[in-house]
């Protein structure tokens, strides 16, 4: 098994591009990424060739795990071993153990209710300095991608297609599922932003710049320029999202379990 720490310091003082699947990627000049060091998030590889990719949902994102998708051996995948082991066939698992790099996010007990993103990997100390195979993860895999880029030696980390919002009803650059976990899309997007925003000053202390690149010529009304670019480039202005694949959450069971744990602690303290 390969560990993500084997990738650290591979590109000292470099520019690394973290590529998401936000709608802006649909109209981004992809030639800008030619010969660049890229880390794709989840299904970004469907829109742009990437050198590395990171996900915590291998069953949804890694082409070798998807039916009817050709293999992409040119992509170096970074994922979580326990997630892979839980969904892979024996053959897929052997392939993953030989080819993928694995990271961890367990840092402390989760304090969030079942409909909120787990905060077990919300560890800014891991952003402050490389820490074993740990990568920050709170609300979005973009955060782990940024942490990985910094650990690989990036001086400048550029976000592309990490919109942290919808554009004219578009959630993604291409047809893709959503995963809102019983919350509104806007509330989830705010959480995506908050995680990156709290990482930014910590990265700055480390001498790493975190910047978002967009194809838009004005920040006053990006939706307007998005529509204009769609027309200029003959791209669809709306691609409906796929189904919301959030897990069905057992709220009653969750709170009963938390109460039982609390009761056991009280009894043990007596």
Global pTM value = 0.91
| Tokens describing residue 207 | 């001498």
User: Domain range holding 138?
Assistant: 2-269
**How far is Cα 78 from Cα 54, in angstroms, rounded to an integer?**
5
pLDDT tens digit sequence for 59-105: 999 999 999 899 999 999 999 999 999 999 999 999 999 999 999 99
Position with higher pLDDT, 265 vs 106: 106
Q: How far apart are CA 45 and CA 198, in angstroms?
A: 27
Q: What is the dihedral of CA 145, 105, 64, 52, to 10 degrees?
A: 20
Parallel/antiparallel/unpaired status of strands 209-213 and 52-54: unpaired
For the segment 40-48, the average pLDDT, to the nearest whole number, is: 97
Reported as a single tens digit per residue, the pLDDT across 98-118 is: 999 999 999 999 999 988 999
Place of tokens 């897990």: 247
Better-scored residue on pLDDT, 207 or 267? 207
pLDDT band at 248 (very low <50, low <70, confident <90, very high): confident
- pLDDT of residue 254 exceeding 60, the answer is no
Q: Are 126 and 107 in contact (CB under 8 A)?
A: yes
pLDDT band at residue 142, thresholds of 50, 70 and 90? Answer: very high
3-class DSSP assignment, residue 46:
helix
- Total domain count, the chain: 1
Per-residue tokens: 25: 């990627």
Find tokens 């938390």 and name the residue.
258
Contacts of 227 (CB under 8 A, 6+ apart): 168, 237
Per-residue confidence (pLDDT) for residue 265, from 0 to 100: 64
Provide the mean pLDDT of the chain: 93
């Amino acid at each position: 098994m390969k560990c993500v720490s084997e990738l650290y310091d591979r590109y000292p003082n470099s520019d690394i591009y973290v590529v998401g699947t936000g709608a802006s990627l649909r109209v981004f000049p992809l030639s800008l990424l030619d010969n660049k060091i890229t880390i794709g998030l989840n299904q970004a590889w469907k829109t742009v060739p990437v050198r590395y990719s990171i996900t915590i949902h291998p069953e949804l994102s890694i082409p070798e795990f998807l039916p009817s998708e050709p293999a992409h051996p040119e992509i170096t995948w970074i994922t979580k071993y326990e997630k892979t082991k839980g969904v892979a066939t024996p053959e897929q698992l052997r392939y993953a153990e030989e080819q993928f790099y694995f990271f961890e996010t367990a840092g402390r007990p989760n304090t969030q209710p079942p409909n909120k993103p787990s905060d077990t990997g919300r560890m800014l100390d891991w952003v402050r300095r490389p820490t074993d195979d740990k990568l920050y993860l709170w609300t979005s895999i973009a955060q782990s991608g940024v942490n990985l880029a910094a650990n690989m030696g990036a001086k400048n980390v550029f976000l592309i297609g990490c919109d942290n919002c919808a554009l004219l009803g578009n959630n993604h650059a291409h047809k893709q599922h959503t995963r809102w976990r019983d919350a509104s899309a806007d509330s989830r997007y705010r959480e995506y932003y908050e995680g990156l925003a709290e990482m930014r000053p910590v990265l700055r202390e480390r001498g790493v710049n975190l910047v978002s690149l967009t194809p838009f010529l004005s920040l006053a009304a990006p939706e307007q320029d998005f529509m204009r670019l769609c027309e200029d480039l003959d791209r669809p202005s709306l691609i409906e999202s796929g189904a919301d694949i959030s897990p069905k959450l057992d709220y009653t069971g969750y709170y009963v379990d938390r109460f039982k744990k609390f009761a056991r602690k009280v009894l043990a303290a007596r």
